[in-house]
Chains A and B, each alone.
Chain A
């Protein structure tokens, strides 16, 4: 093993995926451990302490969600990317309990996975619980209660549509990260389509109006021209 290379644990029972992704990630500069079921992933995670875990959901012996739950129960806060989609409110609550750091739905472009791995590693605080597992997120005078699905600004409830709230949640759990419109569509709306980028802008306008955030001089959400958005205020997680 080459020193200073981040170790990734990749758990996927489909050999064509694991065999193709592992060399790709190795070429990108990571050391990759490959397992094909949840039980092996749990054992490897405890034995090798990888910097990041990529878990498929449907796997033999133990599925990805259960593996992640057991890791978190054992207070192992290794950043984890779950290879599935988070769509509806019930799934969001489930995702919150699992505490995955990010989600990526199959089929995906390997470059997208790489970008996600790098972003998760960049914001990871070793040994600490990640923001994605926190019930309450705060940034200056803005608070987001993820369980009650309610946002408050200086103690006052902010009226938001469910989609705008989900956008805020995604941005707050990915602070200081350039989030593309396509990524927001995939994560919040669940699918991507050409008319969608405008849809994101509509919700962003709603969010900014509700948060009284001036796009020219933002306190919370910054526009990155030609790229997307970034949540610029420092975020703290509780619970």
Chain B
């Protein structure tokens, strides 16, 4: 509305200028005429009428003053709002820039480690004499390549999530969780471990949610994989399902080492690695992916963790139950 300052000024003072012009014109032209003094009655009417006309000029002036004042107040408010918006924008830009730099710093770190391993492995391949040493170098190189590939794949998933629309179908959550547990069986960390899946019998059938089943499987799978990664054979991992009428709750709980308090607020950041996660395998994007997927389903994810007894971590995912009927995605 207020783009150019000279236009703004003109618009602001236009009513006042109009009021002054009207006042001057009325004073000069109308009050200089004595047309209503023919008879006493007419004279009186003319006198009142003349006064009214004179007052009209004054009213025009007052109105002009009033409207100009109102416009000035509105203009001032608009300026302040613009300033506030500008400040917020600058703050958001600064935060985005800081986030971008932080991301690049972390990415640099995530890439340089496997790359250093790869370079060392290549040197070993070139220089090693014994076939066992060469074989080991090949294995190390493959491992480094796997890490880099996984990082790239997860980065692509993150970028895809921001770009592609999610498919919306009615999803049977108990069935989805069973799929996750079955899929987790192949993880090396699963060997000899017990993952409990606790699904309530009531209400039956369990409320469905509307969402992209494939993405939700990926989200819960990442949480289970994470739980397995930070626990040992004697620990327990539980996947619990619940509902409160409006939302369904999926909890992935473990009795592992727990997350240090200073890391808890940052674990959903892209490429963030907590102090006890630096030596573990992974792209550093798993929980960021989970967060994005849940957010894209209008859901929420919370974490509570303790390193003191009773130690452990609980991730709680809250997803709204289906409001309207949509086709049920056929299950296997």
Interface residues in chain A, defined as those with a beta carbon under 8 Å from any beta carbon in chain B: 85, 87-88, 107, 159, 161-163, 189-199, 201-202, 205-206, 209
Across the A-B interface, give the 7 residue pairs with the lowest CB-CB distance, nearest first.
A195-B183, A206-B330, A202-B332, A195-B221, A205-B332, A195-B217, A201-B332
- B residues at A contact (CB < 8 Å): 145, 148-149, 152-153, 156-157, 160, 163-164, 167, 169, 179-180, 182-184, 186-187, 213-214, 217-218, 221, 327, 329-332
Residue in contact with B187 in the complex, picked from A159, A190, A194, A201, CB distance below 8 Å: A194
Q: Could you list some 6 contacts between A and B, CB below 8 A?
A: A162-B167, A191-B157, A194-B183, A201-B332, A202-B179, A209-B330
A-side contacts of B167, CB under 8 Å: 161-163
Given A87-B160, A107-B152, A191-B160, residue A161 in contact with residue B329 (CB < 8 A): yes
Complex-state Cα separation, A88 to B161, whole angstroms: 11
Question: Bound complex: CA of A196 vs CA of B184, how far in Å?
Answer: 11
Instruction: Please determine whether B331 and A194 come into contact, CB atoms closer than 8 angstroms.
Output: no
B214 near A191 (CB under 8 angstroms)?
A: no
| Contact yes or no, A195 B332, CB < 8 A | no
**Which one of A191, A192, A202 has the greatest number of beta carbons of chain B within 10 Å?**
A202
CB-defined contacts of A163 to chain B, threshold 8 Å: 167, 214
Closest CB-CB distance, B153 to chain A, in whole Å? 6
Assess whether A198 is in contact with B182, with CB atoms less than 8 Å apart. Answer: yes
Complex contacts, B217 vs chain A, CB 8 Å: 195, 198-199
A189 — which chain B residues lie within 8 A by C-beta?
214
Chain A residues within 8 Å of B180, by CB = 195
CA gap between A107 and B180 in the complex, in Å: 27
A206→B213 CA distance, assembly (Å): 14
CA distance A194 to B221 in the complex (A): 9
Which B residue's beta carbon lies closest to that of A85?
A: B156
Question: What chain B residues lie within 8 Å of A197 (beta carbons)?
Answer: 183
A191 and B217 alpha carbons, distance in the complex (Å): 14
Residues from chain A with a CB closer than 8 A to the CB of B187 are 194
Taking a contact as CB atoms under 8 Å apart, the answer to whether A190 and B149 are in contact is no
CB closest residue in chain A, given B214: A199
Q: Check B218 against A195 for contact (C-beta < 8 Å).
A: yes
Residues of B within 8 A of A87 (CB): 160, 164
A205 and B221: CB pair below 8 A? no
Min CB distance A182 to B, Å, is: 12
Which of A88, A162, A193, A202 interacts with B221 by CB under 8 Å?
A193
Residues in A with CB closer than 8 Å to B149 are 107
Contact (A88, B163) CB under 8 Å given A195-B183, A199-B217 = yes
A190 nearest in chain B by CB position: B160
Residues of B within 8 A of A85 (CB): 156
In the complex the two chains form, is A193's CB within 8 Å of B332's CB?
A: no
Closest chain-A Cβ to B299's Cβ sits at a distance in Å of 19
Closest Cβ–Cβ distance, residue B211 to chain A (whole Å): 13
Instruction: Tell me if A202 and B330 are in contact (CB < 8 A).
Output: yes
Chain B residues within an 8 Å CB radius of A199: 179, 213-214, 217
CA distance A205 to B213 in the complex (A): 15
| A205 contacts B156, C-beta separation under 8 Å | no
Q: How far is the CB of A83 from chain B (nearest CB, A)?
A: 14
Closest-by-CB residue of A relative to B332 is A202
Question: Is B221 a contact of A161 with CB atoms below 8 Å?
Answer: no
Q: Which residue of chain A is the closest to B186 with respect to CB atoms? A: A194
A159 to B327, CA, bound (A): 11
A161 close to B186 (CB less than 8 A): no
Least CB distance from A214 to B in Å reads 16
